[in-house]
């Protein structure tokens, strides 16, 4: 949430910051700003604006902001104070000599603000960040240190009094040629170029400039100069670091000819499956290889229960994962909303294995739940896309998704990747219990077909687009599914509401008669997930019940099921695979349905209102 990009080097900093901000805009987009430091004139300039980056770019282009070679910038997702020009970052201290951008939340800012006000400090904004800028400014003015130590020492001193999370970048008028960054709980990545340095909240924003990065750790402080950097610990001396290469192609975070990232990411899903399973299927033993779990076969055999933790889309993937584990691996399993679990007092067997599922690996509720599980002495594993994320680092092991950057705010490819990984886990744990080699081989063969099957579904996007147009004016939509398709219904409804703003709700089909049926009328379309599985007849009955109340029905059915056309108003076909993997195919046309509905309504698909990628606040 919120994005930071800072630069120091020979280039004109203004286009670098604006380009970086537009790459980070998916992390928050209600206001944005930048500060530049012009060494020749000794001027620190701040420009900030409510609204999108394009609005900031317009103001920057119209301004007299001089060219400069160092600067810090920020795109905001408001936590403290409304999205206004004044509340946008950067924030200056009382002297106006210092500027800061900040991701995270300062929990004790009210107390600190009162103390500072009693000392005569005056605040312009409602933000917690401005309090931090004044704290650093105060420490700076009281400091007796010299050189860069005066600024980094002041940052350290101020952060000692902070409760909460931060990723920050700071500049001071008297320190031309220096940017100071620090982090705790909010990601910050150092990008190393030729004679230039970058600091960003997200490695993907650095792709056009460098693939050499250092992922800063909590309590790291970094001093950036054009040709060098110095990483210290906020608590003591030097901090160890590793220079890593970004594993993405330079254009991995580009739209690649698609009108939206979401559509691009939907189309990447054949590859997403290949990336999730590459090297992880063991045909010889009809099993899966998941070495990253860091658990011996004996320890895996002893697992009595699995609890999957996640939020939003990751929670829905976890629900499917838990169902698979019980259905096919015969391991008791459940999924739980991470934000609920962490505050509950649940009695669980000693050998309960936890999985924290998170695309970003930074979701505050999921991280909090993982920490709580590990605090209680359980093993906590991660299923993450972001390899350098806090969840990936803090878990006892896990599995990476290798799905590449997901920029569209609505999660798509991360969902199918997570479900595919749960399938591998099911195969591994199942083959240690009662799953036969034949069943294991069947799962491996089914995986091999998934990429082509997804491609086939994508070839029908024009039909899905026309269905989307037909129902785009609906005020409300329902999604119904059974068993593996109940979480698919939840996920499809989540996609629909978050990007089209149409009210949408997912339910277990069996619940229809217990109240939901009151919502059925000719203006309310219902999407009914009706694969040709053991519950097919029951799903047909569900369709009949909706039709009897004159509700329009869009059925998602198995290829070749021509008979269903007699029951439903519209039919979307998907190829057949094993029940446990069917959600991977079923969700794809429903992602497209929400996408084209949002497009038909003129919504900002990649940046829906009020949302942001990576929810790092509770």
Residue 613 Cβ vs ligand F6R, minimum distance, rounded to whole Å: 7
Is 496 an interacting residue with respect to ligand F6R (CB under 6 A)? Answer: no
| Sites for ligand F6R among residues 255-314 (CB under 6 A) | 311-314
Is 494 an interacting residue with respect to ligand F6R (CB under 6 A)? Answer: yes
Q: Which of 78, 92, 178, 411 binds ligand F6R (CB under 6 A)?
A: 411
Site string for ligand F6R, 520-549 (x = CB under 6 A): ------------------------------
Residue 515: which region, alpha, beta or left (left: phi > 0; alpha: psi -120 to 50)?
left
Site string for ligand F6R, 312-331 (x = CB under 6 A): xxx-----------------
Residue 80 Cβ vs ligand F6R, minimum distance, rounded to whole Å: 20
What is the dihedral sign for C-alpha 531, 532, 536, 540? Answer: positive
Residue 261 Cβ vs ligand F6R, minimum distance, rounded to whole Å: 12
Residue 494 Cβ vs ligand F6R, minimum distance, rounded to whole Å: 6
Give the separation between CA 109 and CA 478, rounded to whole angstroms.
Answer: 43
Residue 358 Cβ vs ligand F6R, minimum distance, rounded to whole Å: 3
Site string for ligand F6R, 43-82 (x = CB under 6 A): ----------------------------------------
Q: How many residues bind ligand F6R (CB under 6 A)?
A: 15
Q: Which is nearer to ligand F6R, 137 or 382 (CB)?
A: 382
Burial class (CB in 10 A: 0-12, 13-18, 19+), 255: middle
Catalytic position from the list 2, 311, 384, 530: 2
User: Would residue 513 show up in a list of annotated catalytic residues for this protein?
Assistant: no
Is 594 an interacting residue with respect to ligand F6R (CB under 6 A)? Answer: no
Residue 483 Cβ vs ligand F6R, minimum distance, rounded to whole Å: 22
Is 614 an interacting residue with respect to ligand F6R (CB under 6 A)? Answer: yes
- Sequence-distant (6+) residues with CB within 8 A of 489 are 479, 480, 481, 506, 507, 508, 509, 527, 529
Q: Which is nearer to ligand F6R, 357 or 429 (CB)?
A: 357
Distance of CA 211 to the CA centre of its chain: 21
Q: Which is nearer to ligand F6R, 152 or 363 (CB)?
A: 363
Residue 262 Cβ vs ligand F6R, minimum distance, rounded to whole Å: 9
Q: Which is nearer to ligand F6R, 180 or 189 (CB)?
A: 189
Give the separation between CA 118 and CA 110, rounded to whole angstroms.
Answer: 12
User: Would residue 613 show up in a list of annotated catalytic residues for this protein?
Assistant: yes
Q: Which is nearer to ligand F6R, 314 or 443 (CB)?
A: 314
Taking Cα atoms as reference points, which of 222, 194, 197, 155 lies closest to residue 70?
A: 197
- Sequence-distant (6+) residues with CB within 8 A of 177 are 8, 39, 70, 225, 226
Give the separation between CA 158 and CA 382, rounded to whole angstroms.
Answer: 33
Contact status, residue 557 vs residue 527, Cβ threshold 8 Å? no
Bridge partners (DSSP) listed for residue 199 = 6, 190
Give the separation between CA 481 and CA 67, rounded to whole angstroms.
Answer: 58
Q: Which residue has tokens 């519950």? A: 535
Return the H-helix or E-strand segment holding 527: strand 526-530
Helix intervals (H) in 380-436: 390-394, 413-431
Q: Which is nearer to ligand F6R, 356 or 450 (CB)?
A: 356
| Sites for ligand F6R among residues 166-225 (CB under 6 A) | none
Residue 75 Cβ vs ligand F6R, minimum distance, rounded to whole Å: 18
Residue least distant from ligand F6R (Cβ) = 312
Phi, psi of 528 (to 5 degrees): -115, 120
Is 390 an interacting residue with respect to ligand F6R (CB under 6 A)? Answer: no
Residue 412 Cβ vs ligand F6R, minimum distance, rounded to whole Å: 8
Contact status, residue 6 vs residue 72, Cβ threshold 8 Å? yes
Residue 610 Cβ vs ligand F6R, minimum distance, rounded to whole Å: 12
Burial class (CB in 10 A: 0-12, 13-18, 19+), 475: exposed
What b/e sequence results for 520-544 when a residue is b if at least 16 CB atoms lie within 10 Å of its CB, and e otherwise?
beeebbbbbbbbebebbeebbebbe
Bridge partners (DSSP) listed for residue 480 = 507, 528
Site string for ligand F6R, 348-377 (x = CB under 6 A): ----------xxx--x--x-----------
Give the separation between CA 39 and CA 403, rounded to whole angstroms.
Answer: 42
Bridge partners (DSSP) listed for residue 503 = 476
Q: Which is nearer to ligand F6R, 359 or 509 (CB)?
A: 359
Q: DSSP 3-state assignment of 254?
A: coil
- Sequence-distant (6+) residues with CB within 8 A of 332 are 304, 305, 306, 326
End-to-end CA distance of the chain: 11
Q: Which is nearer to ligand F6R, 91 or 316 (CB)?
A: 316
Q: Which is nearer to ligand F6R, 70 or 201 (CB)?
A: 201
Q: Which is nearer to ligand F6R, 71 or 104 (CB)?
A: 104
Q: Which of 268, 498, 570, 579 binds ligand F6R (CB under 6 A)?
A: 498
Q: What share of the chain is helix, strand, coil (3-state, %, to 5)?
A: 40, 25, 35
Cα–Cα–Cα angle for 459, 465, 471, rounded to 5 degrees: 145
SS (H, E, C) 49-116: EECCHHHHHHHHHHCCCCCCCEEEEEEECCCCCCCCCCCCCCEECCCCCEEEEEECCECCHHHHHHHH
Give the separation between CA 108 and CA 388, rounded to whole angstroms.
Answer: 28
What is the dihedral sign for C-alpha 563, 568, 570, 571? Answer: negative
Catalytic position from the list 49, 264, 497, 613: 613
Q: Which is nearer to ligand F6R, 209 or 595 (CB)?
A: 595
Residue 315 Cβ vs ligand F6R, minimum distance, rounded to whole Å: 8
List residues near ligand F6R by CB under 6 A.
311-314, 358-360, 363, 366, 410-411, 494, 498, 614-615
**Annotated active-site positions, please?**
2, 613
């Amino acid at each position: 949430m919120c994005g930071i990009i800072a630069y120091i080097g020979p280039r004109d900093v203004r286009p670098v910051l604006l380009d970086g901000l537009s790459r980070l805009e998916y992390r928050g987009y209600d206001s944005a700003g930048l500060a530049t430091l012009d060494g020749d004139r000794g001027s620190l300039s701040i420009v900030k604006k409510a609204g999108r980056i394009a609005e900031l770019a317009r103001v920057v282009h119209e301004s007299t902001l001089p060219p400069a070679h160092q600067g810090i910038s920020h795109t905001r997702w408001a936590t403290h104070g409304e999205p206004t020009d004044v509340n946008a970052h950067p924030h200056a201290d009382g002297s106006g000599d210092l500027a800061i951008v900040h991701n995270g939340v300062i929990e004790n800012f009210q107390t600190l603000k009162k103390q500072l006000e009693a000392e005569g400090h005056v605040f312009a904004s409602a933000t917690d960040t401005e309090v931090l800028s004044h704290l650093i400014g105060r420490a700076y003015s009281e400091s007796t240190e010299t050189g860069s130590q005066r600024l980094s020492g002041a940052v350290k001193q101020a952060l000692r009094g902070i409760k909460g999370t931060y990723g920050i970048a700071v500049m001071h008028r008297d320190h031309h040629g220096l940017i100071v960054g620090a982090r705790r709980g909010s990601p910050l990545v150092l990008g190393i170029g030729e004679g230039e340095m970058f600091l960003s909240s997200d490695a993907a924003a650095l792709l056009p400039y460098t693939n050499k990065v250092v992922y800063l750790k909590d309590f790291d402080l970094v001093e950036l100069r054009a040709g060098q950097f110095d990483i210290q610990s906020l608590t003591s001396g030097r901090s160890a670091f590793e220079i890593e290469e970004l594993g993405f192609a330079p254009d991995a975070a580009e739209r690649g000819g698609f009108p939206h990232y979401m559509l691009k990411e939907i189309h990447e899903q054949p590859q997403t499956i290949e990336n999730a399973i590459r090297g992880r299927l063991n045909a010889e033993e009809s099993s899966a290889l998941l070495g990253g779990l860091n658990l011996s076969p004996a320890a895996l055999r002893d697992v009595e229960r699995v609890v999957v933790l996640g939020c939003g889309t990751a929670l829905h993937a976890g629900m499917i994962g838990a169902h698979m584990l019980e259905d096919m691996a015969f391991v008791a399993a459940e999924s739980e909303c991470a934000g609920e679990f962490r505050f509950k007092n649940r009695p669980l067997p000693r050998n309960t294995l936890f999985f924290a599922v998170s695309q970003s690996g930074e979701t505050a509720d999921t991280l909090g739940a993982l920490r709580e599980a590990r605090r209680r002495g359980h093993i906590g594993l991660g299923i993450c896309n972001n390899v350098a994320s806090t969840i990936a680092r803090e878990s006892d092991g896990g599995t990476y998704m290798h799905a590449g950057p997901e920029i569209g705010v609505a999660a798509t490819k991360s969902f199918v990747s997570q479900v595919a990984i749960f399938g591998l886990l099911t195969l591994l744990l199942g083959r240690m219990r009662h799953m036969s080699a034949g069943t294991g081989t069947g799962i491996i063969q089914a995986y091999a077909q998934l990429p082509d099957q997804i491609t086939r579904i994508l070839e029908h996007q024009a039909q899905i687009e026309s269905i989307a147009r037909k129902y785009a004016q609906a005020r409300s939509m329902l999604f119904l599914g059974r068993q593996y398709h109940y979480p698919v219904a939840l996920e499809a409804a989540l996609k629909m509401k978050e990007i089209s703003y149409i009210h949408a709700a997912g339910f277990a089909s069996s619940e229809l008669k217990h109240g939901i049926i009151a919502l059925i009328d000719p203006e309310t379309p219902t999407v009914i997930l009706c694969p040709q599985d053991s519950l097919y007849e029951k799903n047909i009955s569900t369709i009949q019940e909706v039709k009897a109340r004159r509700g329009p029905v869009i059925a998602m059915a198995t290829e070749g099921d021509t008979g269903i056309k007699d029951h439903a108003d519209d039919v979307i076909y998907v190829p057949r695979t094993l029940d446990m993997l069917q959600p991977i195919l079923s969700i794809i046309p429903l992602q497209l349905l929400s996408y084209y509905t949002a497009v038909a309504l003129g919504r900002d698909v990649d940046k829906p209102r009020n949302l942001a990628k990576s929810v790092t606040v509770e």
